[in-house]
Chain A
Amino acid sequence: MRKVCVAGVGMTKFGRSQKSSIEMFAEAAMEAIVGSSIKPADIQCLYFGNVYGDLEEGQTVMAPYAAREIGLSAGTPSLRFEGACASASVAIRDAFIAVAGGFYDLVLAGGTERELAMGTPLATRAFEMASEAYYEGYAGITFPGVFAMLARLYSKKYGVPLPKLKERMAMVAVKNHKNGAKNPLAQFRNEITVEEVLDGPMIAEPLQLLDCCPFTDGAAAIVITTEEKAKKMVKKPVYIRGVGQGSGAPLYRQKDFTLIESRVAAAKTAYAMAGIEPKDVDVVEIHDCFTIAEIVASECLGLFDFGTASEAVEKGETRIGGRIPINPSGGLKSKGHPIGATGAAQSYEIVKQLRGEFVERGTQVEGAKIGLTDTLGGDSATLVNIIYGIKG
C-alpha cells in the first residue's frame, strides 16, 4: 500500500446560498485544485458526495456535471457517493483506497448540498428517509427524535440525571458556537449561553433548538494524491494515516444505542491502520449533529471512558486548550451541516489544523500532529473515521 497525502483543500462559506450545488462545489473544488498547484485536467477521478440533489434542485447524476463544470476531461470517471450525512467521508475513504492501491495518483474528493432549498418540513422528512423506512419511518421519527431517545438511554444507563445531562449537552453547543464564532466560513458566528440553549423551543424532548445542528448549504473538496506527488505540490502535505468505515443496523436492531457499534468498529480499524491509540490524537472533528451525539461519539472513539464524556465537557476538556479539543471549526452545530459536504469540511479543518493555519483565527490547536474526523450517516448506518497526520 502506498502512502497517501492530502494536497490542496477547499470549502465554501456555509449557510444560505443563492448558488446551485454544482456552483458551490466548483468553488470548493477549484480552491483545492489551485491550492495543489495542478490543473483540473490532472485529476484522474472525481469522488463526489451528494444526498438530496433531486429533492433540492431536481438534479440527479450530479457527479459528471460537476466534473465537467470544473474542466475534468471526458475520459475522467466521476462517482456519486451517498452515505447520508457521511457521504463526503465515504468518498474520501474510497479515494484514499484508490490512491493507496495504486490505481490512481490524483483524485478529487468532496461533496455539496443545498438543504435550505427544501424548506424545513421537506428537509425534516428528507433526513428522516435516512432512518429505516418500513419499520421506523411510519412512526414519524426524525433525527432529533432518534438522538432525543439516545439522550434518555444515556441518562438512565450512566445515572446522569436528565437535567444535569441537558446542562452538559448545552455546554457542547456553547463550546462549538464559541469556536464557530471565530470561523469566517461558519453558518452561525454568534456565541450562545447555556441559559439560551435551555430556554429554546423544544424540538424532540429533551432536545431543544440549540441542541440541534442547522440545515445548511455548502460544499467542500480535497485533493488526494501520493506522498511523492504531494511533496512537489504543497509545502506541508498531510498524510492520511488510517481509515475505517462501518455499517450500522436500523435503530430497532441495535441492542444498546449508547455503544454505537458501527463507530466503535470503524474507529478500531482506523486506529489500527494508523498504528496509534486514541490518546495519541491531538484534535478531533466529531459529528455533533446533536449535542448528545458529540458526547456519545467521543466515548465510542475511545477519547473518554464510557459514561464520563459529559463530565469532561463540563470540565472543559474538549475546549481548545483542553485535553482533547473537539470541533475547533464550530462543528456541525455552528459551522453548519450540508450533508453531502460535511465530511470533506471536517477534513478541511483537520488538514489546516495540522498545517498550523488557524493561529490568526484564534482556533489553532497548538502543536497538533494527529487529527481525527468522525462522520455519521443515518441513525448510525454509515460511519467513517479518518486519521490524518503530519508524518506518514
Chain B
Amino acid sequence: MDNKIENDPFSQNDTILSSALSEKVKYLSDLNDSIKDGNDLKVYELMDPNRFATEVKGEQPDQPKANFFGLAADLKTQLSHHLSNKLIDYLGTTYPFFYYHEYDLGKFNIYFGNWWDHRMFGELDAINVQFNFAEDEYNTLSKSFELEAQNKRVNDDQMRELGQKNEKLTQLIEDQNKRDQRKEEIRKQIKENEEKSPMPWEAGKVKEEHQQLQNALLELTNIDEQASDGRAEIKKNENQILALSKEETIYNLEKQNIRASFGSFEAFIDNNNNLYAKYLQSLSKETQVTDGE
C-alpha cells in the first residue's frame, strides 16, 4: 500500500475534471437548445450518438462516441412526449393506418385502424423510434398473411366446425317427427315382445330382443334431448361465428391497409426494421430544405 498522496496515482487534476464537467454542461445545454429550437434530429443524435452515426450517417466509427445521455435519462418520458409530436406526424403519412393514444406521459398505445373494434397493437417507442408490437396481435396478423397465400383464413377451421354443428342440430330438430314415429314403432314392438310367452329355449333370445329395443328407444330419447337444447346451442354458435367473422373482417382491413401503404407484409416488416434511419433521414432532409430557404 502506498500512503503517499502528493503524487496522484490516477493523474487526476482539476483541469481534467473541469473539462469533463464542461463537456457534460455543454451536452445538457446542447440538448436544451435542440429542444427549444425544435431540432429533433439533433436531440436524437445527442440521445444515442453511436446509433445515429452508423444508422443515419452510415459511418463506421473506429471508437464509440462518448454518450452522455445518462445525464438526462430520467427525463425519458418528457423527451418521449416532446419527440412524439413530429414522429407521429411522420408516421401519419407513412403508416396512415396506425393511431396513437398517449395513455401516460410519453407513453403511447398503437391502434391498428379506426374502424369498429380496431385492435390495440402494441406501443410506440418514440425515443428509439420503433414499434413494440403486441406479440399475439402481430402473430395473428402474420399468420393471416401466411394463410392468405394458401387461400385460407385464420378462423376458417373453427368457423367451419361451428357451421357443421349448426347444420347437424338443425337436422336433429327437423327430424323430430321421424324420431317420434320410430319411437312409437319401437314401443309397439316392446309391447309385442312382452306379450310373447316363449318356449324355454327361446326365452334368452326374446329377452335379448327386449334389451335391444330398450336401447334403441333410449338412444332416440337422448337425441331428442340434444334437439330440444338445439335452438339455444345454434344461437350460441351463431354468435361465435359472428365474433369470428368480425375478427376476419378486422384482419382483412389490416392486410388491405398494409398492402395499400407498403405493397406487401415483407415490405412493411422491412420498413419497421429501418424506421429509425428512415425517420431521421427524413428529418434531416426537412432541415436542409428549411435551411436552404
B is bound to A: no
Q: Interface on B for A, CB 8 Å cutoff? A: none
